């Protein structure tokens, strides 16, 4: 929850000018609802896509305060974050709610970025793998194979968000590899290989290269570092593993 619309215009213009157009990385800015119209206007037709941070599980109707997928798409939004840990922690979103939002997003023509991840307590209990399997299976339950290609999954270890802590590249890759294995078991190897899997645990301009060098980490869900255009551009440049 950062930046008012009047500030977003300058931020989006700075990002547009500093972030390189490249073939190895698709860039997305996920803005708060009230900022989306400005971000979409500045970035429209550019090499940076616009995403939302949340979506209603309902298509339309008497749900005051909610924002539907159709509304988002009409603003030029292409992606939407679903099931972020803060939505789960502060606003009571459950795995069942996440599944409903995933389906609603896909039906609206949006690509959901599905967040899964464990808390420090769950990690210490040794239930990380079981939890991740459950979260992934529940999130995509009932989604047909041909539409699995329209999703992105982000491993978001809650214990590493905003704490300055981050999993080692190898540890992060193991969980991303597990996520891919779950998709493979449900929808086959071809779909699993084509599904982008991101790491979202305090990725920044300093650790991005090593994390993105891992075979099963396809990108990053960036938090605080995305608020500074120069840092955001550095992370995108780190996706170029040919350097």
3-class secondary structure, 220: strand
| The one catalytic residue among 118, 156, 187, 205 | 156
Query: CB under 8 Å to 70, separation ≥6 — which residues?
Result: 59, 60, 108
Is 156 tagged catalytic?
A: yes
- Least Cα distance to 71 among 52, 43, 48 occurs for 52
| The one catalytic residue among 84, 93, 187, 205 | 84
| Cα–Cα distance measured from residue 141 to residue 175, given in angstroms and rounded to the nearest whole number | 20
* The total number of residues written for the chain in this structure: 243
Question: Which CA distances in Å does 233 have to 11, 56, 95, 109?
Answer: 13, 31, 33, 28
Quick check: 15 and 48 in contact, CB under 8 A? Answer: yes
Active site amino acids: 84, 156
């Amino acid at each position: 929850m950062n930046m008012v619309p009047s500030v977003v215009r300058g931020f989006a213009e700075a990002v547009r000018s500093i972030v390189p157009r490249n073939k190895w990385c698709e860039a997305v800015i996920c803005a708060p609802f009230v900022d989306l119209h400005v971000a979409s206007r500045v970035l429209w037709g550019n090499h940076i896509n616009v995403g939302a941070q949340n979506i209603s599980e309902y298509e339309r109707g008497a749900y005051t305060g909610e924002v539907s997928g159709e509304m988002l798409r009409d603003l030029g939004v292409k992606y939407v974050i679903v099931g972020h840990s803060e939505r789960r922690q502060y606003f009571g979103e459950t795995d069942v709610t996440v599944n409903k939002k995933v389906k609603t997003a896909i039906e609206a023509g949006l690509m959901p970025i599905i967040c899964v991840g464990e808390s420090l307590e769950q990690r210490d209990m040794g239930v990380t793998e079981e939890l991740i399997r459950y979260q992934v299976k529940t999130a995509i339950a009932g989604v047909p194979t041909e539409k699995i290609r329209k999703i992105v999954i982000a491993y978001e270890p809650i214990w590493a968000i905003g704490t300055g802590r981050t999993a080692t590249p190898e540890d992060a890759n193991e969980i991303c590899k597990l996520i891919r294995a779950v998709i493979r078991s449900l929808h086959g190897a071809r779909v699993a290989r084509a599904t982008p899997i991101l790491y979202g645990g305090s990725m920044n301009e300093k650790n991005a290269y090593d994390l993105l060098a891992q075979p099963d980490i396809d990108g990053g869900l960036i938090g605080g570092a995305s608020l500074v255009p120069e840092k955001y551009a550095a992370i995108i440049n780190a996706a170029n593993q040919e350097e």
